Amino acid sequence: MQDVRVKTYPASKALLERARKSLAGGVSSQFRMFTSPHPMFYRRAAGSHIWDADGNELIDFTLAQGPLILGHSHPEVLRRVNEAIDDGQLFAGQFEQEVLLAEKLQQLIPAAERVRFSSSGSEAAHAVLRLARYATGKPKFIKFEGHYHGWFDSVSISVNPPAATPVGDPLPWGGGIPESVREDVVVLPWNDLEQVERTLHERGDEIGAIITEPIMANQGCIEPAPGYLAGLRDLCDRHNVALIFDEIITGFRVDLGGVQRRYGVTPDLAIFGKALASGFPLSAIVGLERFMAPLEQSEVYHAGTLNANNASVAAALATVELLEHDDEALFHRLAETGSTLRESLHALGQKHGLPLRTQGPGPMFHLGFTERSEIRDYRDTLDFDAARYGEFCTSMLALGVRLIGRGMWYVSAAHSAEDVERSLAAADTALGMLT
Ligand code: PLP
């Protein structure tokens, strides 16, 4: 048998070379550049499978970086979208489905006393920081190292600082970000309540918000330590600080009401996207009335030409209704599929004598190679053996399984028991080649 590690993708490669002459870097998002062995081209996808430009059929655990909670091209989602756009694609006025969706979010999400729709997670993060600053009258905010809240300037800080950067030193994420942005951000390590307490004690009069991924999904898929989110809630209340949960990944993925419903900690403001609309561009800004009221009075502005377009709203309504149906049966099944997969991958690591660590809830989890027995924060993730994981991903791709290069696995309701079995067989082979 040919060594799968040297498999080539001539059609993708040729398209990439051509693309680089028109598309900057051959891609439309920086994250798509970091794909092993190189950025790939795809032609078609359905359910849990995707076909690349060379005709390879792959089981997909990338799921468009999270949104495809029901899998690719779910027939009911597409039917509802087609039905909606038969009546028009964008009214730049209100329509009833938009209200239905907002009402649905109010029922499911504890903080959703009021809702606004935007088109991307980055825009939503921008809006909640503005709302938090206005409500508290304080310009600075706490952001945690390793957390990602989109690519806009104010939050493009300490996203993935190298080990040599001192903890807490606000490091811009690439060039073109004004130095002045650093002045408004206080960067802290995550999962360490004492540091937040000390910082608010010393600087609570200038800090208006804490923004956090409530599960640190973007680095290591780390769950909050027991009591951590409740502790943040308490500190925010004591210091007149807005607590913001960035649920762009966790929303409709770990629980239909987000981490806030699962853990019983209600933030002041929160943002949702990705799985909410099954791959159509939609994000939701939700918040307690006190924080959202300035939008009602036009004291704070939020806008967007494409906001709540008909296709995205129809996709979101269909997605949420399907996930809710029959006591959230689909949702529970996908969570179980994810847990089985995660546990079986862990067992394979042991079989091969590898320091393979998996963590995270079932619908998404992280896999990495590390000797650490506990991963609590960004700095712990710096020990992951990225080169080894890259090698594993390359082999998995050649064996018919598409993964994200930084270790996250997304699972959908379309992944079947057979998909899991085939993926585990591929992982067994790929891990065997690492030893
Ligand atoms: N917040 C989190 C936690 C994310 O993971 C992302 C994107 O991956 C964003 C915000 C930004 O969302 P978008 O890519 O839709 O702008």
Tokens of 236: 């925010």
Render 377-394 in DSSP notation, one character per residue: SHHHHTTS-HHHHHHHHH
CA 29 to ligand 1 center in whole angstroms: 12
Q: How many CB atoms neighbour CB 260 within 10 A?
A: 25
Q: How many CB atoms neighbour CB 302 within 10 A?
A: 20
Does pLDDT of 33 surpass 70? yes
Ligand 1 mutation target, pool 27, 68, 122, 307, most atoms within 8 A of CB: 122
Q: Is 245 in the pocket of ligand 1 (CB under 6 A)?
A: no
What is the greatest pairwise CA distance in the chain?
68
Q: How many CA atoms lie within 13 A of 103 on its CB side?
A: 6
Q: Is 249 in the pocket of ligand 1 (CB under 6 A)?
A: yes
366 bridge partner residues: 359, 408
The residue whose CA is least distant from atom 14 of ligand 1 is 121
* Contact assessment for residue 56 and residue 297, using Cβ atoms and an 8 Å cutoff: no
Mean pLDDT computed over 265-270: 99
CA 370 to ligand 1 center in whole angstroms: 26
Atom of ligand 1 nearest to the CA of 125: 10
For 350, residues 6+ apart whose C-beta sits below 8 A from its C-beta are: 356
Q: Is 122 in the pocket of ligand 1 (CB under 6 A)?
A: yes
Q: Is 150 in the pocket of ligand 1 (CB under 6 A)?
A: yes
pLDDT, tens digit, for every residue of 345-378? Answer: 999 999 999 999 999 999 999 999 999 998 999 9
The residue whose CA is least distant from atom 9 of ligand 1 is 150
Does pLDDT of 52 surpass 90? yes
Measured between its terminal Cα atoms, the distance across the chain in Å is 18
Number of H helices, E strands in the chain: 12, 14
Mean pLDDT computed over 252-257: 96
Question: Which of 52, 104, 148, 255 is labelled catalytic?
Answer: 148
pLDDT, tens digit, for every residue of 375-398? Answer: 999 999 999 999 999 999 999 999
Does pLDDT of 6 surpass 90? no
**Spatial distance between the Cα atoms of 16 and 53, rounded to a whole number of angstroms:** 11
Lowest mean pLDDT among 36-40, 64-68, 296-300: 36-40
CA 429, distance to chain mean position in Å, is 29
The overall average pLDDT reported for the chain is 97
* Predicted local distance difference test score (pLDDT) of residue 322: 98
Tokens of 164: 């040599």
Q: Is 216 in the pocket of ligand 1 (CB under 6 A)?
A: no
pLDDT, tens digit, for every residue of 75-119? Answer: 999 999 999 999 999 999 999 999 999 999 999 999 999 999 999
Tokens of 341: 């997969």
CA 175, distance to chain mean position in Å, is 23
* Contact assessment for residue 403 and residue 34, using Cβ atoms and an 8 Å cutoff: no
Q: Is 118 in the pocket of ligand 1 (CB under 6 A)?
A: no
**Spatial distance between the Cα atoms of 434 and 76, rounded to a whole number of angstroms:** 41
* Predicted local distance difference test score (pLDDT) of residue 35: 87
What CA–CA distances, in Å, run from 342 to 224, 411, 423? 19, 10, 11
Q: What is the DSSP letter of 216?
A: B
Please, which pLDDT band fits residue 5 given cuts at 50, 70 and 90? confident
**Spatial distance between the Cα atoms of 110 and 346, rounded to a whole number of angstroms:** 34
Does pLDDT of 262 surpass 80? yes
**Spatial distance between the Cα atoms of 412 and 337, rounded to a whole number of angstroms:** 9
Does pLDDT of 1 surpass 90? no
- Cα angle vertex 370, ends 193, 212, to 5°? 30
Q: Does the active-site annotation cover 419? A: no
pLDDT, tens digit, for every residue of 297-349? Answer: 999 999 999 999 999 999 999 999 999 999 999 999 999 999 999 999 999 99
The residue whose CA is least distant from atom 12 of ligand 1 is 121
Residues in the chain: 435
pLDDT, tens digit, for every residue of 237-249? Answer: 999 999 999 999 9
Mean pLDDT computed over 205-226: 97
Does pLDDT of 280 surpass 90? yes
Does pLDDT of 287 surpass 90? yes
* Contact assessment for residue 45 and residue 57, using Cβ atoms and an 8 Å cutoff: no
CA 122 to ligand 1 center in whole angstroms: 6
Q: Does the active-site annotation cover 274? A: yes
Does pLDDT of 2 surpass 80? no
* Contact assessment for residue 244 and residue 129, using Cβ atoms and an 8 Å cutoff: yes
* Predicted local distance difference test score (pLDDT) of residue 34: 86
Q: Is 247 in the pocket of ligand 1 (CB under 6 A)?
A: no
* Predicted local distance difference test score (pLDDT) of residue 431: 97
Please, which pLDDT band fits residue 402 given cuts at 50, 70 and 90? very high
Tokens of 369: 């190679």
Under the phi-then-psi rule, with left for phi > 0, alpha for psi from -120 to 50, and beta for the rest, what region is 220?
Answer: left
Q: Is 149 in the pocket of ligand 1 (CB under 6 A)?
A: yes
Q: What is the DSSP letter of 364?
A: E
CA 430 to ligand 1 center in whole angstroms: 30
CA 121 to ligand 1 center in whole angstroms: 5
Q: Does the active-site annotation cover 246? A: yes
Written as one letter, the residue type at 71 is G
Please, which pLDDT band fits residue 74 given cuts at 50, 70 and 90? very high
* Predicted local distance difference test score (pLDDT) of residue 36: 84
**Spatial distance between the Cα atoms of 19 and 9, rounded to a whole number of angstroms:** 15
CA 123 to ligand 1 center in whole angstroms: 9
